[in-house]
Amino acid sequence: MKCVYCFQPVHPKTDWRNAFLPGRPSRLCEECMNGFEVITEGCPRCCNPRYSETCPDCRQDSALLSNTSLLFYNDFAKEWMARFKYRGDYELIASMSVFLPYFVRGKAVPVPLSDVRLEERGFNQAEAITELLMKRPRPYLKRSHSEKQAKKSKQERERGANPFLPVQQVRGNLLLIDDIYTTGTTMKQAAAVLKENGADSVRGLTLFHS
Ligand SMILES: [Zn+2]
Ligand SMILES: [Zn+2]
């Protein structure tokens, strides 16, 4: 077996993770695996690894109850992400499943891409992560493509900068899924629309926290 990232041979027997996660054999070599930094401590609300108390981005109230991020978006993760976006390689995203929790609560809502972006990229990385979590992606949101203000309809201007639109009424506790959490603006905007449309609660899960 070869590492899906660097193509060096992987020796599954010597990888301790395989002993604990038999259903999810690591497809990354040890060196690549060690390139990722698992977040063990951070802001209690958004997992920002630079803080141990509530970070400045989380001090204001928002529709997003909390966010869990699994890995620090370090230089290795940035390179990995650039390659993943370029190749759109399912093997590459599947290699991340060793870092994902076995079980997550709530209906999974992948953060959507705009139609234009989806056309360009050919896949939605948030949806790929949702599938790795063995969850059914719920298409509760649409995302409008950011264009010049003049091109926006009156309704869009009134909505301000929020690019998300509801697709249907929703119910229950939702889990918003995305690849990277930066300041949380995207997740908070998406959460606000879901709450307005009937969600009981919205939490977030992202692979990386920058
Ligand atoms: Zn490797
Ligand atoms: Zn925070």
How confident is the model at residue 25, as a pLDDT?
A: 60
Residues 84 and 28 reside in one and the same domain: no
How confident is the model at residue 153, as a pLDDT?
A: 62
Residues 66 and 8 reside in one and the same domain: no
Strand order in the sheet with 67-72: 37-38, 67-72, 201-209, 173-181, 107-110
Which residue in 105, 114, 195, 102 sits closest to 147, CA to CA? 114
Domain count, the chain: 2
Centroid of ligand 2 to alpha carbon of 39 (angstroms): 13
Centroid of ligand 1 to alpha carbon of 8 (angstroms): 6
The region that residue 47 occupies, defined by phi over 0 for left and psi between -120 and 50 for alpha, beta otherwise, is left
Q: Identify the nearest ligand to the CA of 5 by its number.
A: 1
CATH number of 174's domain: 3.40.50
Residues 13 and 46 reside in one and the same domain: no
Centroid of ligand 1 to alpha carbon of 3 (angstroms): 5
Residues 113 and 20 reside in one and the same domain: no
Residues 27 and 91 reside in one and the same domain: no
Residues 112 and 99 reside in one and the same domain: yes
| HEC string for 30-72 | HHHHHHCEECCCCCCCCCCCCCCCCCHHHCCCCCCCCEEEEEE
Centroid of ligand 1 to alpha carbon of 39 (angstroms): 20
Specify the DSSP class assigned to residue 3: -
Residues 27 and 108 reside in one and the same domain: no
Name residues with Cβ closer than 5 Å to ligand 2, which is an ion.
Answer: 43, 45-46, 48, 55, 58
Residues 1 and 93 reside in one and the same domain: no
Judged by DSSP in three states, 89 sits in coil
Residues 29 and 62 reside in one and the same domain: no
Q: pLDDT for 34-44, tens place per residue?
A: 999 999 999 99
CB of 164 closer than 8 Å to CB of 199: no
Q: Identify the nearest ligand to the CA of 29 by its number.
A: 1
Residues 131 and 184 reside in one and the same domain: yes
How confident is the model at residue 85, as a pLDDT?
A: 84
Centroid of ligand 1 to alpha carbon of 1 (angstroms): 11
How confident is the model at residue 161, as a pLDDT?
A: 82
Centroid of ligand 2 to alpha carbon of 184 (angstroms): 8
Residues 18 and 46 reside in one and the same domain: no
Residue 4, domain extent: 1-35
How confident is the model at residue 151, as a pLDDT?
A: 58
Q: Identify the nearest ligand to the CA of 43 by its number.
A: 2
**Cα 99 to chain center, whole Å?**
13
Q: pLDDT for 64-102, tens place per residue?
A: 999 999 999 999 999 999 998 887 788 888 899 889 998
Sequential pLDDT tens for the chain (210 residues): 899 999 998 876 555 555 555 555 668 898 999 999 999 999 999 999 999 999 999 999 999 999 999 999 999 999 999 998 887 788 888 899 889 998 999 999 999 999 998 998 888 999 999 999 999 999 999 999 875 555 556 555 555 689 999 999 999 999 999 999 999 999 999 999 999 999 999 999 999 999
Centroid of ligand 2 to alpha carbon of 54 (angstroms): 5
Residues 3 and 75 reside in one and the same domain: no
